[in-house]
Structure 1
Amino acid sequence: MERIELDEAMLQGQAEIWRFLYSFTDFMGLTSAVELRIADIIHSNGGAATLSKIASCISDGLTSPDITALARIMRLLVRRKIFTIHPPSDGGDPLYNLTHSSRWLLHDSEQTLAPLVLLENHPWLMAPWHYFSQCVKEGGAAFKKTHGCEMWDLASRDPDFNKLFNDGMACTSKFITSAILSGYKQGFKSIGSLVDVGGGTGGLISEIVKTYPHIKGVNFDLPHVVSMAPAYNGVSHIGGDMFHAIPNTDAIIIKECIKILRNCKKAIPRENGKVIIVEIILKEDGSGVFDDIGFVMDLVMFAHTNGKERTEAEWKKILEGGGFSHYKIINIPALVSIIEAYPDAQ
């Protein structure tokens, strides 16, 4: 066999492919930590816990946890800086601690991504990733090729998946809502009524109305979604299809609007009306803290909804085609930005 000498660049390239090849292990290790509530266990023990303490808290009394398997998972998550490990001052067993990352895995925190981790690990959402090459060859939506229907159809038929989906969306809504309220203070003051189109269980609109009680809020989504929504002061829940019609209002806030911009335009007044679009804006040369995640989210959309993330130039073209030639972009402290779009006179 001929001996092949690899230079440093080729070795680095090989290492990169190895990393891509098994990058799913990071997510599965993270998922295991969420399912086992490891961050919650450490948090409930004062922010530091030994491996044996974590294992004892995982035990349900019927089975005995495999502490060696737990140690292997924790070793990877420490290397990925999800947790840290430190020797105690008394010379006992090492202590695992939370980091800024693992604090986002606490189940009962207002700032948590744990429900989204569990949602993304559901077999129905994992399967479409295997259809990307087929979508390139044939066209079509990965999720529909996999399941023969849209994700919303499965949610409407399966209460457990519907709850998992709603919980996943609600957890991100909480901290995105906080970012919107802190970064868009002037935008809500002149609005008398506001419809959150695709508002899920109403978390965003309820917080807006709580902060700005002069606003009459409407949470508008599919009937099976709003049926799960709790009651909020100042908010009405309306079930319907955004692709057919949207309730009339001063302004609309929406997270995915491409196919319904014209319906949005019909629902708001020509003078002083506006659509508040909460979306990721891709920056191809961006170096911001969330800029790389935007490109990941574009493929998540490809896998699950047949939607896509867009650059500002792409958004400009879409808005003009929907009758919104004038807009401005407002950056907020979140993965998403706000696009404030104003309807054309005609």
Structure 2
Amino acid sequence: MESVTELDEATLRGQADVWKYMLGFADSMALKSAVELRIPDIIHSHGHALTLSQIVLSIDSASPSPDITCLARIMRLLVRRNIFTAHQDGGDSGETLYGLTHSSRWLLRDSELTLAPMLLMETNSALMAPWHCFSQCLNQGGPWAFEKAHGCDIWHFLSENPGFNKLFNDGMACTARITMKAILTRYEGGFDDVGSLVDVGGGIGSTVAEIVKAYPNIKGINFDLPHVIATAPVYHGVSHVGGDMFVEGNIPNADAIFMKWIMHDWSDIDCIKILKNCRKAIPERSGKVIIVDIVLEPNGDGMFDDTGLVFDLMMIAHTSGGKERTESEWKKILKQAGFPRYKIIKIPALLSIIEAYPMMHCHE
């Protein structure tokens, strides 16, 4: 039988957990401020740990005297969260020196592999507002959270707000680079038999450009809505096609179709519609659809399993019926769209690869 002391300890732990989750947004905002001030880049550019005074000297500030005390308090929390290191200077000053960790290296703005644009996108007020509408969605039903917050869905909002559209595209492009590095390293032989590849919902084309760079024999086609394609740069070996993946016949024909972080934006009914249109654009016997998305493990203890559950809630916040899916949920929509066979390939990333084959596919 538990003692009164143990019960009191458990009760206090419960209270501490509620405070922790109640104020979890503070971690996000502290991280956001560090990225906006380019603190990871400042430390990295010097090649060694810096004092607060040294950091402040490099901050691009509108004020001649930035508030160093405010910075000290932000850094104290971020050190506690293992975003930065802190140790005492061995010299006479005794000042604290702040250095980078494996986490803050993912926040370097000028690094090829960075999550900084994604962090700035997700913590933008436009994307934070829908999170406040969850209970309304449950109690009142439609429209979805983003529409409740902004009066339109996210795609219309992007088309009407060029500044936010750029922030969104930059966020998607940075995650594309990270995921593509994992894919090109671990998806062995996946593109060997592909002569032409359509990236459906490919944004500004950075993903398919990476694939074509690694596999120059592939004819790359970047397919997205016209307003997205309008901002796409020129990539060698890649053509841009504007259209709507929900309209039959819009998706260009190719040997294979690639979709990274597209399906989770849509309901099962919409995903089946997209997949059916994809199926019509690839060869019946040799074609395949390569889906790169989260495969939920609700009780998993993998490195990214917890993040997957948070992303599922993000879909409530930002999409009109989107969701993250377990393997059984993926199997169900693939089968209904005419892809009875599939293979899941794990890669060192938040996302997994799902190779789906049409009804008559002979590939083993």
Matches within 5 A, 1:9-28: 9-28=10-29
The answer (yes or no) to whether the contact 1:59–1:65 under 8 Å persists in 2 is no
Distance (Å, rounded) in 1 between the aligned partners of 2:92 and 2:116: 33
Task: Kindly provide the CA deviation profile for residues 219-278 of structure 1, in whole angstroms up to 9, marking residues without a partner as x.
Answer: 000111111111111100111111113111110001323140110111111111100000
Structure 1 position 330 matched with structure 2 position 345? yes
Q: After the TM superposition, which parts of structure 1 deviate over 6 Å for at least 4 consecutive aligned residues?
A: none
One-letter amino acid of the counterpart of residue 14, structure 1: Q
Distance (Å, rounded) in 2 between the aligned partners of 1:31 and 1:165: 16
SS of the equivalent of 2:190 reads helix
Matches within 5 A, 1:55-66: 55-60=56-61, 62-66=63-67
Distance (Å, rounded) in 2 between the aligned partners of 1:186 and 1:61: 52
Distance (Å, rounded) in 1 between the aligned partners of 2:217 and 2:258: 16
Query: Which residue of structure 1 aligns with residue 41 of structure 2?
Result: 40
The answer (yes or no) to whether the contact 2:187–2:347 under 8 Å persists in 1 is yes
Query: Which residue of structure 2 aligns with residue 117 of structure 1?
Result: 119
CA drift at 1:138: 2.2
Query: Which residue of structure 2 aligns with residue 248 of structure 1?
Result: 253
CA drift at 1:62: 4.0
One-letter amino acid of the counterpart of residue 272, structure 1: S
The answer (yes or no) to whether the contact 2:37–2:60 under 8 Å persists in 1 is no
Percent identical across equivalent pairs?
63
Q: Alpha carbons of 1:81 and 1:320: their partners in 2 closer, same or farther (altered >3 Å)?
A: same
Moved more, 29-38 or 222-231: 222-231
Distance (Å, rounded) in 1 between the aligned partners of 2:63 and 2:298: 52
Structure 1 position 298 matched with structure 2 position 296? no
Query: Which residue of structure 1 aligns with residue 335 of structure 2?
Result: 320
Distance (Å, rounded) in 1 between the aligned partners of 2:290 and 2:258: 4
Aligned equivalent of 2:196, options 193, 196, 216: 193
Count of aligned pairs = 343
The answer (yes or no) to whether the contact 1:143–1:151 under 8 Å persists in 2 is yes
Task: Kindly provide the CA deviation profile for residues 170-219 of structure 1, in whole angstroms up to 9, marking residues without a partner as x.
Answer: 11111101111111131100011100000011111011111111111000
Distance (Å, rounded) in 2 between the aligned partners of 1:61 and 1:151: 33
TM-score by length of 2: 0.92
CA drift at 1:33: 0.3
Distance (Å, rounded) in 1 between the aligned partners of 2:45 and 2:212: 34
Distance (Å, rounded) in 1 between the aligned partners of 2:71 and 2:213: 43
CA drift at 1:148: 1.4
Query: Which residue of structure 1 aligns with residue 166 of structure 2?
Result: 163
Distance (Å, rounded) in 2 between the aligned partners of 1:83 and 1:91: 23
SS of the equivalent of 1:277 reads strand
CA drift at 1:345: 3.1
Q: Alpha carbons of 1:59 and 1:216: their partners in 2 closer, same or farther (altered >3 Å)?
A: closer
CA drift at 1:152: 1.4
TM-score by length of 1: 0.96
Quote the RMSD (CA, aligned, Å): 1.5
The answer (yes or no) to whether the contact 1:113–1:171 under 8 Å persists in 2 is yes
Q: Structure 2 stretches of 5 or more lacking a match? A: 264-270
One-letter amino acid of the counterpart of residue 307, structure 2: I
Structure 1 position 126 matched with structure 2 position 128? yes
Distance (Å, rounded) in 1 between the aligned partners of 2:357 and 2:60: 56
Distance (Å, rounded) in 2 between the aligned partners of 1:243 and 1:320: 18
